[in-house]
Amino acid sequence: MRLSILDQSPVLSGLGARAAIEATLALARRADELGYHRYWLAEHHAIAALADPCPEVLLARLGAETRRMRVGTGGVLLPYYSAFRVAETFRMLEALYPGRIDLGIGRAPGGDARTAQAVSGGGFPDAARFPEQVWQLTAHLDGKLPAGHPFERVRVQPEVETAPEVWLLGSSDYSGALAAELGLPFSFAHFINPSGGDAVARAYREMFKPGRESAPRVTVCTFAICAPSDEEAERLAAPIDLRRLHMALNIDSPVPTAEEAARHRYSEEERRYVMGQRARAIIGSPQTCRREIEAMGERYGADEVMVLTITGDYASRLRSYELLIEAFG
């Protein structure tokens, strides 16, 4: 089973965005040494707990910090942007790091409605145009706009021999169906929607039409915390439990530390809510995590599993990734 990483560059309580970005670079360097297959950065806007609104910029540095693994975005929120501009940005990244760049794209706003208007220049991003944008983006990357298209003769630079892999990301049947129609690989966000993703992945494989890819490829992304024991993993999960509660209550704050999480006294209703969110995650010892990740991969028919880990400190997050890949040999 291939293992990969999704990094949201979490901002921890008492620390700032610079610490979050430095932690991302340190984790990427270690992941490259450990043998992770790919490392993706996510785009979010105006969220106190997450530090990366422009993954393509951080990706340019990340490529220089690593040598072996694929690096990319998970993902660029395409409705905000020109397909042509995204194509040129990722052609440049491909020129810098040939054969290692992934362009994962999504259609979610990545923030609240007011922020979405600000990012898109005053209007709401037009997700209705998303299928056309995805098609146009891949055509720009591959130089395959059809005769008669208004942009047919526009030169996409830099002109290099290779192109990034393009992945469609999603947490619903919409994205799976679009990926199948366009012949693109598909990544399902189990960490966002833990219900029905296996059925979405099966439908994607059944409906897949060869296009940019000749055969379907599936990854599934789950939240995970790995520690030497199940009990220690539970302790490390306390900050993210509180973070999920804050999100539900519209409290915009950094990720709590373990000490802050330990001080919170949950009501019965809050505890029920937090435990109800655990379906998004795999939490436990290396043996527990391996067993549950393998079961998830089999359930989704996934070619690889991508892991998102956030804890109350950067050292335990890094250690979680070390223990996890050691468990897979």
Q: What is the model's pLDDT at position 112? A: 77
CB 255 within 8 A of CB 243: yes
- Nearest CA to 74 out of 21, 99, 110 is that of 110
User: Where do runs of H (alpha helix) occur along the chain?
Assistant: 17-34, 55-65, 83-96, 113-119, 130-142, 173-182, 197-207, 230-248, 258-263, 268-276, 286-300, 314-327
Tens digits of pLDDT across the chain (329 residues)? 899 999 999 999 999 999 999 999 999 999 999 999 999 999 999 999 999 999 999 999 999 999 999 999 998 999 999 999 999 999 999 999 999 999 999 988 767 778 888 887 776 667 788 999 999 999 999 999 998 898 988 999 999 999 999 999 999 999 999 999 999 999 999 999 999 999 999 999 999 999 999 999 999 999 999 999 999 999 999 999 999 999 999 999 999 999 999 999 999 999 999 999 999 999 999 999 999 999 999 999 999 999 999 999 999 999 999 999 999 98
Give 278's DSSP letter.
Answer: G
The pLDDT, as a whole number, for residue 60 is 97
CATH number of the structural domain 2-327: 3.20.20.30
* The predicted structure's pLDDT at residue 108: 81
Q: How many residues does the chain have?
A: 329
CA distance 254 to 246: 10
Listed in order, strand segments (DSSP E) in 109-249 are: 165-170, 186-189, 218-226
**Which pLDDT does position 74 carry in this prediction?**
94
pLDDT digits (tens, 9 = 90+) for 94-127: 999 999 999 999 988 767 778 888 887 776 667 7
d(CA 21, CA 30): 14
The whole-model pTM stands at 0.95
